[in-house]
Chains A and B, each alone.
Chain A
């Protein structure tokens, strides 16, 4: 199985700041990577797919990058509504696997 190592586990930042969350795959996943935002009591919401494609309706302050085994999610100009948990997921190969998540709070 492909292991996804996500960091950091938690993050505290000020409004307007830029934050970056990283995911490392245990092998090359050829950009088969998605990022999700999950708020308490809600389903995960797709933000980014194919490593760097912004899903419809997602604000442009979210962006994804990376290749091979290293991927990142960047949030520019942090807003209060961005407080949530964020997960990466590889869908290059079965079984699909998720990172352990990053909890983002406002400082």
Chain B
């Protein structure tokens, strides 16, 4: 059974960074694209970017290019997202989602449970 387990809630001070994790079980992330999506309180979904864990190639939405850094560790089957220079506007739930592009499973069929990041001094 495929599962995506995200790290726990984070409280970050303005100007600092946080690093979120998304550990995948039941499937090798080398054969996936790992995506990250956020949702601000009471708002809709926003695509941040994706990483190809096999080679580290990344694609970001323009507004997140200087905010988010996506990495992956294939040895632990875990994807990471670091958010830098935190501002109050970064307060949101952050989700990871998987695209098993080598299979017939549709993209975004699997999601993590979300990590709440709260930015506050």
- Give chain A's interface residues, CB within 8 Å of chain B: 1, 34, 36, 38, 43-46, 49-50, 53, 55, 87, 89, 91, 94-101
Contact sample, A vs B, 13 pairs, CB 8 Å cutoff: A1-B61, A36-B108, A43-B114, A45-B111, A49-B107, A49-B109, A53-B106, A95-B49, A95-B60, A95-B62, A96-B35, A99-B44, A101-B45
Report whether A95 and B95 are in contact in the complex, using a CB–CB cutoff of 8 Å. Answer: no
Docked Cα-Cα span, A43 to B110, in Å, equals 9
* Cα separation A34 to B35 with both chains bound (whole Å): 15
Q: Interface residues of B, CB < 8 Å — how many?
A: 20
User: Which residues of B come within 8 Å of A, CB atoms?
Assistant: 35, 37, 44-47, 49, 59-62, 95, 106-109, 111-114
Inter-subunit contact A98/B44 (CB<8 Å): yes
- Min CB distance B85 to A, Å, is 21
Decide: A46 and B106 in contact? CB cutoff 8 A.
yes
Are A87 and B106 in contact (CB-based, < 8 A)? no
CB within 8 A of B45: which of A44, A45, A49?
A: A44
Question: Do A44 and B111 have beta carbons less than 8 Å apart?
Answer: yes
A43-B113, A43-B114, A44-B95 are contacts. A98–B45 as well, Cβ < 8 Å?
A: yes
